[in-house]
Amino acid sequence: MSLQGKRIVVGLGGGIAAFKAVELVRELMRRGAEVRVVMTEAATHFVGPITFAGLTGKPAVTDLWAEDYAGEVHVELGDWADAIVIAPATMNLMARASSGQANDAVLATLACARGDVFFAPAMHARMWSHPAMQSNIQTLRARGAVVLGPVTGPLANGEIGEGRMMEPEDIAEAIESHLVHSDDLSGSRILITAGPTHEDLDPVRYLGNRSSGRMGYAIASRAQHRGAEVTIVSGPVHLPVPSGAEVVRVRSAEEMHAAVMSRFEHFDVVIMAAAVADYRPERRATRKIKKGKSLKLELVRNPDILADVGAKRARRPSVLVGFALETENLEQSARDKLERKAADLIVANEASAGLGGDTNRATLVDAATATPLPEMTKRALADQVLDRVRTLLNNSSQRSRLETEHEAPN
């Protein structure tokens, strides 16, 4: 019930993604929020107001002139809401919002908003990339609105492109992060490794693993939303980079090692979420290896990036986080890794679920505690990890302050 006590207005524009707003309302309420719904007339052609009345226990506002609303409902809702989220936010609705129009229930409520405003765009990729759309986005952001998405995926007409509305759970998590965790990592610089590494056998083949990179990118996205300055050292993945984050793309474990070791001293936090290959071929063939009855490979150990950062750090990073994928003795294996590699926190994952899934089940292990977590989305786990990072940063700052006071001359 992480949004307990929060009051959120969900506003719907007229787009095919309006059906997702039903699940968004349910998800926000599941997290404890009280929700009211406002709809444009066009939105009612895609999903009926009675659906939201059944979910929320309150009639959906569709008409500023309806006789059953006492007073000025848009003013009342603007005062009432801690946040207003427009999902789906169509090109037309966002254009009208950017120009300050207030000629329907959604826009009039937006004009009276006292709380945070979020837009979850949903439209065809060509509409999203249109110069007028991008100009309107810049205007809305300049006024303080938070734009969530869109993401790349299947569009209404079957094409693949950037314009798909974020999934309801991701929208709810972003709103929660903003309302509950807003800027709690402001001023922190965080380096995150993500994805697999590919160890080339020849020009067309490589050794790799099933890591999707979604865990590392989820941590980067949540850290960015919470005010941190984020750099991602990323293995080969096909994921959107969180807005505002820097990405350093690498391929092999040696390349990732070089990128991290040349940068880590400039960061407050290093989070090693990448699935780095333990071994690489001793020799890389310059030409494609021809098919034969069998193939013998000589492998050599790759550098241990987490251990090398742990061994060489002085005052920075203040917090070092590693990940461990284990099949047995989860807590003890994580604690051994914590000590051997001089880390501050190990996120121990159960390997039974494999790599690349949408959810994780993990145990957070530090010097004093081991906290088993239930299965949850990667974005939810990202916030759990960052909550612990924030605590470790605060503890580190307090220790530094006490050491400075102790060293100061009398």
Active site (annotated) includes residue 92: no
Angle at the Cα of 271 from the Cα atoms of 254 and 394, rounded to 5 degrees: 145
CA torsion, ordered 31, 32, 37, 43, to nearest 10 deg: 10
Assign 49 to helix, strand or coil: helix
Both structure tokens of 204: 């067309």
DSSP 351: G
CA separation for the pair 105, 96 (Å, rounded)? 13
Assign 86 to helix, strand or coil: strand
Catalytic residue among 92, 136, 157, 209: 209
As a three-state string, the secondary structure of 144-168 is CCEECCCEEEECCCCCEEEEECCCH
CA separation for the pair 244, 365 (Å, rounded)? 30
Q: How far is CA 303 from CA 38, 117, 124, 259, 285, in A?
A: 56, 46, 45, 12, 21
Both structure tokens of 264: 């880590």
Assign 26 to helix, strand or coil: helix
Spatial contact of 299 and 280, defined as CB atoms under 8 Å apart:
yes
CA separation for the pair 386, 181 (Å, rounded)? 10
Angle at the Cα of 362 from the Cα atoms of 360 and 364, rounded to 5 degrees: 145
Contacts of residue 81, defined as CB under 8 A and 6 or more positions apart, other chains included, come to 7, 8, 9, 36, 113, 114, 115
Spatial contact of 220 and 233, defined as CB atoms under 8 Å apart:
no
Instruction: Supply the residues annotated as catalytic.
Output: 209
